[in-house]
Chain A
Amino acid sequence: GMPVEQNPPALSLYEGAESGLRCNFSTTMKGVQWFQQNHRGRLITLFYLAQGTKENGRLKSTFNSKERYSTLHIKDAQLEDSGTYFCAVASSGSWQLIFGSGTQLTVMP
């Protein structure tokens, strides 16, 4: 299977709602990076984690290397949060980032 899988592939939320995105990987990874790709195609770096949890405003991300997953939690969703969210992981055997296929988030008024 794919080394990096993201779930769900698509998600719709109403403004003010919250939800989580998940990134599963097949082998031990040493770091994860989350991006938002906005409607103009621009990639915005949200987080880089080598372990634990980071929080920034309405976003929170966790990385569990042992259980092989990372999550991105969005609370109080806003219209501008719409876009595609990618996780990218760095494997223990290589530094190169491997991207998931993304979760397309639509926030509705």
Chain B
Amino acid sequence: EAAVTQSPRSKVAVTGGKVTLSCHQTNNHDYMYWYRQDTGHGLRLIHYSYVADSTEKGDIPDGYKASRPSQENFSLILELASLSQTAVYFCASSVDNQDTQYFGPGTRLLVL
């Protein structure tokens, strides 16, 4: 089973503040992803990356930046957190974009 970890597991942030969510995987996967899940809904792709030092926009990138400093690490950055960004955020990784994605445990973010 692929090992994907996220930190923090939960966070309370203030509107307008900066938030950084971290993801780490130990399986040499090239692809990493950030999704958000809103209560009662499925997941939507925010950003993804297929190689270190490069990131790509997903379906809902507005208000988010991503950083892939190494193959193992992928961060999601909210420069100016807003109330609408309250959600659960999942990181995932996969060998390639045709393969099974393995998910981290999620980070619950509350923006006040």
B-binding residues in A (CB < 8 A): 4, 31, 33, 35, 40-45, 48, 50, 86, 88, 90, 95-97, 99-102
Q: How large is the interface on B (under 10, 10 to 19, 20 to 34, 35 or more residues)?
A: 20 to 34
The distance in angstroms between the C-alpha atoms of A4 and B59, with both chains bound, is 15
Question: Which residue in A4, A50, A97, A101 is a CB contact (below 8 Å) of B101?
Answer: A97
* Interface residue SS majority, chain A: strand
**B58 with A101: CB separation less than 8 A:** no
**A99 with B101: CB separation less than 8 A:** no
**Nearest A residue (CB) for B90:** A43
**B88 with A41: CB separation less than 8 A:** yes
A sample of 14 cross-chain residue pairs with beta-carbon separation below 8 angstroms, ordered by A number, consists of A33-B100, A33-B101, A41-B88, A41-B106, A43-B90, A44-B103, A45-B100, A45-B103, A50-B98, A96-B59, A97-B101, A99-B42, A102-B41, A102-B42
What's the A-B contact tally at a CB cutoff of 8 Å?
48
A-binding residues in B (CB < 8 A): 40-45, 48, 58-59, 88, 90, 97-103, 105-106, 108
**A41 with B103: CB separation less than 8 A:** no
Question: Which residue in A31, A40, A45, A99 is a CB contact (below 8 Å) of B44?
Answer: A99
**Nearest B residue (CB) for A2:** B42
Inter-chain contacts of A100 with B (CB < 8 A): 42
**B101 with A31: CB separation less than 8 A:** no
